[in-house]
Each structure stands twice: as structure tokens, then as C-alpha cells.
Amino acid sequence: MAPLRSRRDLSGVCYGSDHTSCGSHRRHRPLPHQLEESRVNFALVAISNILVGIITEEGFFRGWLWASLERAGVRRPRILIWSSIAFSLWHWSAVMLKTGFDPPRAQVPVFMVNAVAMGLVWGLLRWISGSVIVSSVSHGLWNGMAYVLFGFGTKVGALGIKNTGLFGPEVGVLGLTANLIFAAALWRLATGHARRVGPGLAEQT
């Protein structure tokens, strides 16, 4: 889940067998070559999104917005919630307009809720580490995995999974469930760490 510009810039990367520009090409290539191509694509998407994310999505939501709310005296749980909701709303245009990423309309509600869940995950990583770089790296690696292996919009990824409404990491029910479970685990880690550090930090929770 990265800046829209980076998605368009990487739209030429071959994500799967149904991609219009390379589908037939991939079907006739040996499996080792397809695996190598997927590794290269993963590296390209992940690295580019890490670099772009630091100065765009992560730099804004887990950087400037997070720090501004902290300076205003807002408690961290509220910062986490509001920044995650804002992060989700930011992606509304990506799934509702013809961006090349837009999924089937039936998957949009799951995506929007999942965007909040992913915002919670990356916000908690920023909370625990104290660094926007950690959340940026995690965000970039996530995008590399999600878009290369599972595809985006109506495009099928390298794994060939077409039922993304169930299995998709961003638009699927199982992906949403896994992200919520991971966010809950990180929440316990973050609040437990705050209590161990001392009362000053614990008050922020």
C-alpha cells in the first residue's frame, strides 16, 4: 500500500500470468526463470516503495502527523487510531477511481478496513521502534510481497491466486484477519513495553 505514483511507475513490472503485457510470455517460460523474475520484481517494488514511502505516506502519517499530534499532547492510542483512519481514507481514491489498482467493488469495504488494520500495524511499529524508517521498510516489503505475489486490482500475481476476495493480503478476508491478529500482538508488545519502561511513558498509553 504505497503512493499512487509509485504504483503507476511500476505498472510495467510483470506481476502474474494474467498481466496483459506479459501473460503469454510467462506461461512459456520455465519455472526457474519465473521464480527469478518474481524475485527481481519483489526487490524492485520493495526498494522503490521504501524510498518513496519515507518521504510520502510513512513520512506524513507516521512521521509529521504522528509527531504533530504528540506535540499537541494527544495520547499515543488516539494518535494510532486517528493516523490509521486518515491513512485508510487517503486510499479511497486509489480503489474508487480508475487507477489501475482499483479492485472489484465488492472488495472495497474489506480493503478500507484492512487499510486501517495496516495503518495500525505500521503505526505500532513506529511506536515500538520510535523510528519512521522501521515502518517504511516494513511498508515497502509488504508492498513487494502483496503486489508481486498476489497482484493488484484485477491482475493476478506470481502465485496465480485468483480468489483474492478470500486470500488476498489487502482485499481478502483472510488477509484482513491476519493483519488484525498481528496488530493485536503488536499492541500487547507496545503497551507491555511502555509499562516496563516507566510511569512517564506508560501514561501515554
Q: Residue 127 CA to chain centroid, in angstroms? A: 17
Q: What is the mean pLDDT of residues 100-122?
A: 94
Q: Which residue type sits at 174? A: L
> Of residues 8 and 96, which shows the higher confidence score?
96
Cell triple for 15? 506481476
Question: How many other CB atoms are there within 10 angstroms of residue 12's CB atom?
Answer: 9
Over the stretch 128-175, which tens digit does the pLDDT of each residue have? Answer: 999 999 999 999 999 999 999 999 888 899 999 999 999 999 999 999
The amino acid sitting at 185 is A
* 147 CB-side CA count, 13 A: 30
Question: pLDDT tens across 46-62, in order?
Answer: 999 999 999 999 999 99
Q: Can you give the pLDDT at residue 173?
A: 97
Cell of 113: 478496513
For 8-166, strand residue ranges (E) read none
Distances (CA, A) of 79 to 30, 61, 103: 49, 10, 29
| CA 142/CA 119 separation, integer angstroms | 12
pLDDT for 186: 98
pLDDT at 8 over 60: no
The beta strands (E) that lie in 79-196 are given as: none
Spatial distance between the Cα atoms of 53 and 66, rounded to a whole number of angstroms = 15
Range with lowest mean pLDDT among 65-79, 92-106, 158-172:
92-106
Summarize pLDDT for 10-42 with one digit per residue, the tens: 434 444 433 333 444 444 565 567 778 899 999
